Amino acid sequence: MTTRTDGTDNTDGTDTKDYTQSRTHHADHTGRLIVLTGPTAVGKGTVETELRAHHPEVWVSVSATTRAPRPGEVDGRTYWFMNEAEFLAKEAQGWFLETAVVHNMAHYGTPLQPVLDHIASNTPTILEIDLQGARRVKDRAADMGLDVVYVFIAPPSYDELVRRLVGRGTENEEQRRKRLETAKLELASESEFDVTIVNNTVEQCAEDLWAIIAKEYGLEQ
């Protein structure tokens, strides 16, 4: 598995602390939550799609956002799309586990109750959120009794990240500039996470992510 837990950059896994040995696990394998974070265009969504194609039992939380839908995105499946007034009202009502303003452009948030429901049923549960959101979950996790694993998805290199962002063609030049500024901050935060998976290929990254989930939930790999 390509993992980094000590800040080293070993993509062949040698001389790297083994996450699955270093992490303390509870015997009952309940109450797990996988928080997945990484810079823009690193391929988090593509990795999740690959993961669920082989492991449909994994549930990925659907975030709410105030940004406009992109072509092909479906309300309630890709995101819960809402206007700013609706989002802020739900935030005031305690509807979200965490919220953040991302790239200084739009609000994002994780609906709380579906997360709690899936954890209660011991369903493998993933939150794909940005760095701000991951930090907010970390602030709340202990008070909520959540056992959380923080996973960082990293690109093979910064140049590859830029290539992927430009290649997907969903942002204008100013939006790309803002996203790359944010990406630099996100890449610098890698040491805050329990484990890093380098997304060299989607297939291998999804396999590595499943190995972590299987370990946390006591499932067969």
Binding residues for ATP: 38-45
Judge whether 118 and 59 are in contact, CB under 8 Å: yes
* HSE-up of residue 182 (Cα within 13 Å, Cβ side): 21
**Is residue 26 classed as helix, strand or coil in its secondary structure?**
coil
* HSE-up of residue 46 (Cα within 13 Å, Cβ side): 15
Q: List binding-site positions.
A: 38-45
Provide φ and ψ at 98, rounded to 5°: -155, 155
Question: Which positions ≥6 away from 33 have C-beta within 8 Å?
Answer: 115, 119, 125, 127, 137, 141, 146, 147, 148, 149
Helices (H), ranges, 1-43: 19-22
